Structure 1
Amino acid sequence: MGTSLKGRTIFITGASRGIGREIALRAARDGANVVIAAKSSEPNPKLPGTIHSVAQEVEAAGARALACQMDVRDDNSIAAAVESAAKTFGGIDAVVNNAGAIRLEPASTLEMKRFDLIFQINSRAVLAVTKAALPHLEKSPNAHVLSLSPPLNLDPKWLAPYIPYTTTKYAMTLLSMGMAEEFRDRKIAVNALWPRTTIATAAVEFEVGAEYIARSRTPQIMADAAHAILTAPADRMTGRTLLDEEVLRDAGETDFDKYLNDPACTDLMMDLYVDA
């Protein structure tokens, strides 16, 4: 694997908080150019973090940042953010499709307008953002697209309880696998990454349950795994559905206790779609 993202431009959706923010800061420590593309431009008392606060953190780490207010549901908004990033930094080397929406509700009760929302933010955005960035990725010497979506697990226990949400996340993975093959000759790597355990984020706290926060790992494990993928040669790592822990073990990591959100709690909660 490679070792650094120095000088490369990383375009991250949903990067104003949580996993996206951590990926941005990990790239910043390498000296990457980081594009923080998200909707949050004004502070929210319930959800700390904005595109501007993360941009300041990136710059404090010694890297260059571009805060782009962007709605992944709006093609014009996506195009404007991508062009701004390419104009500012001279291109785009990697896209991280991190923006996401979650609603763990069965098909019989989920409102269609809610399904439309999570489909647009999860599934459609992967295609829309990747397509917009494609002309710039084609010019990169080591282009990557990384989507935060799970391995495909068709066990009925994952299909019955909240299939609308599951469908949108599996669609992200299928799009990634398909684009990996479509773009293989263009030497653009496309992969999917998912946490083995729950991650201590607002999404887990509000949708899965606050009681699982102590049994979670910190977002840093996903950032380190993303870094390992994005520094890998594009022609050697593509078309894969990866778990954070296996990526890091393959990279030589052995200390996973450092990622515990609560150092006193080792009874970790497996994430959705992960059996063991």
Structure 2
Amino acid sequence: MASPGALSPKLKAADLSGKVAIITGATRGIGKACAIALAKQGCNIVVAAKTTTEQATLPGTIYSVAEELQQLGVQALPVKVDLRKFDDIKECVRQTVEKFGRIDILINNASALWWQRIEDTPMNKYDLITSINTRGSFAMTHLCLPIMAKNKYGRVINMSPPLQTDFRAYKGFTAYNISKFGMTMSALGAAAEYEGQGITGNTLWPATVIESQASKNFELGGREMWRKVDYYDWQLHHSPDPF
């Protein structure tokens, strides 16, 4: 259910014409929904993701999504990025600046999923989710912030949850929570370190599971509790001055 503020008829979509957003994991699900929502507001999009060839369990590629966004009247740059590789991240930022000359919005959406107890978490799985979720989003933020600072405008938005102090929230989610809370801390750090400089850091997290390829492949909970992915499209268009 949307908050009362989000339903206010006085709120209007921001005009993002000419601005540039890097969205990780934008080939499907929430990342793609965010890309479409921003494109509808005139924002040029960098589709930063790994998928270059469509697969049965992974529909969509960086190229197909970029083409879809261009049909909305904006420019789109597909860049293959493996967030485990810092060189890929650096190359994505380099190509973005080379093509557009700016970075205004960074949405750290891409992440790896793992919902298991500590004893059932192999260290290679722990390394995987922390390298993609925590380290990958931190690295992307690290490189984008100085570019945002030059224009005195920047929005860092991480798809990560509010920090939890109730120990019970960690049961079966410890490794995952460590990786996702790291993303949240990066957003908080960006907000704190660039306060008053036109740059903000925020996180976005659904109240329940969003229907996506991940929720289908991992069979996350009951489908009756899932929200549709276009919920994010609606929220980005109706939240109070998100950009």
Within 5 Å, give how 1:24-43 maps onto structure 2. 24-43=35-54
Task: Decide whether the 8 Å contact of 2:152 with 2:197 is kept in 1.
Answer: no
Within 5 Å, give how 1:67-78 maps onto structure 2. 67-78=78-89
Q: Which amino acid aligns with 1:69?
A: K
State yes or no: 1:212 paired with 2:227.
no
Deviations 1:216-270 (A, max 9, x none): 111122233345669546xxxxxxxxxxxxxxxxxxxxxxxxxxxxxxxxxxxxx
Distance 2:237 2:194 in 1: 21
**DSSP 3-state at the match of 1:146:** strand
Q: Which amino acid aligns with 1:173?
A: T
Match of 2:143 in 1: 132
C-alpha displacement of 1:150: 0.4
Distance 1:110 1:198 in 2: 22
Provide TM-score, normalisation by structure 2. Answer: 0.89
Distance 1:56 1:127 in 2: 28
C-alpha displacement of 1:186: 2.8
Task: Decide whether the 8 Å contact of 1:36 with 1:55 is kept in 2.
Answer: yes
**DSSP 3-state at the match of 1:67:** strand
Match of 1:157 in 2: 168
- Aligned residues: percent identity? 33
Within 5 Å, give how 1:1-276 maps onto structure 2. 3-209=14-220, 212-226=222-236, 231-232=241-242
Task: Decide whether the 8 Å contact of 1:95 with 1:144 is kept in 2.
Answer: yes
C-alpha displacement of 1:208: 4.3
Q: Which amino acid aligns with 1:213?
A: R
C-alpha displacement of 1:133: 1.2
**DSSP 3-state at the match of 2:102:** coil
Provide TM-score, normalisation by structure 1. Answer: 0.79
Distance 1:202 1:153 in 2: 26
Q: Which amino acid aligns with 1:178?
A: G
- Indicate the RMSD between aligned Cα atoms, in angstroms: 1.8
Sort the Cα spacing of 1:230 and 1:133 in 2 relative to 1 into closer, same or farther, 3 A. Answer: farther
Distance 1:152 1:116 in 2: 21
Task: Decide whether the 8 Å contact of 1:23 with 1:224 is kept in 2.
Answer: no
Match of 1:264 in 2: none
**DSSP 3-state at the match of 1:58:** helix
C-alpha displacement of 1:189: 0.4
Distance 1:21 1:231 in 2: 21
